[in-house]
Structure 1
């Protein structure tokens, strides 16, 4: 697997699409999402604050930005196993990139792998809220 730093956001989305294409059905894809979520780095309890909470998610989600416009890093976690897997995908596409690339990158992988059709409306809304917050941090860094 490529290191995040060497791949573009576009390449990361293609890699995700290829990985999900290996799985025949959504039971396997959900299990893969849960496994990805379990691989997220430990998240500091001290950062589980209202300031970093993503609103619009049914489950609890926290997203912490760091870095500057040239390279932004994000850490995030959820109390839901599937949502943590979604976070892992989002971070692969958007973390450790320039704010410009973050703002310019549309999350095409969501449609490509069929997530849009297989997530509950509340999870879809939560994913949208997380992407909006992440892109908002990038837009602030550019301002």
Structure 2
């Protein structure tokens, strides 16, 4: 699952959000981030990969890379809603390619609030974001539980 189109960092997202004064511009920016997601394979659009608790359709696929010194998870995802697709891109940039222990300990909700997304998205979108975070963290925790 290729994510090579995501050539931005979380620091870039935070900085760009701080430069954009209007929420319409921030929404457009989030949508633009979603356009950078690699094409999500049709074969991955399964019930197993579907995130429950999202008003839109959202799919997240997790690949586990067992390496000496720890297990790293990479994520790929997609949504049928433009804004949500951008939120998926932000989460992938924040969490993908990191060790399971770091993912399980990360708090993407804090970033979500820091960016002001909690106050400016609908409750359904906010709940969907939380569902995506819960799914990614659960995948990391499952990997950690296997290692015990």
Structure 2 length normalisation: TM-score? 0.86
2:80 aligned residue: 79
May I ask how many residue pairs the two structures share in their alignment?
134
In the TM superposition, residue 14 of structure 1 has moved relative to its aligned partner by 3.9
Shift of the 109–13 alpha-carbon distance from structure 1 to 2, 3 Å rule, reads farther
Is the Cα contact below 8 Å between 1:16 and 1:109 reproduced in 2?
no
1:92 aligned residue: 93
2:138 aligned residue: 136
1:109 aligned residue: 111
1:21 aligned residue: 18
- Higher helix proportion: 1
Q: Mind listing any 5+ residue stretches in structure 1 that lack a counterpart?
A: 4-11
Is the Cα contact below 8 Å between 1:86 and 1:127 reproduced in 2?
yes
How far, CA to CA, are the matches of 1:49 and 1:70 in structure 2? 24
Higher relative contact order (CA 8 A, sep 6+): 1
2:128 aligned residue: 126
Structural RMSD (CA): 1.6
> Could you say what secondary structure the match of 1:62 adopts?
strand
Q: Mind listing any 5+ residue stretches in structure 2 that lack a counterpart?
A: none
Q: Which runs of 4+ in 1 moved over 4 A?
A: none
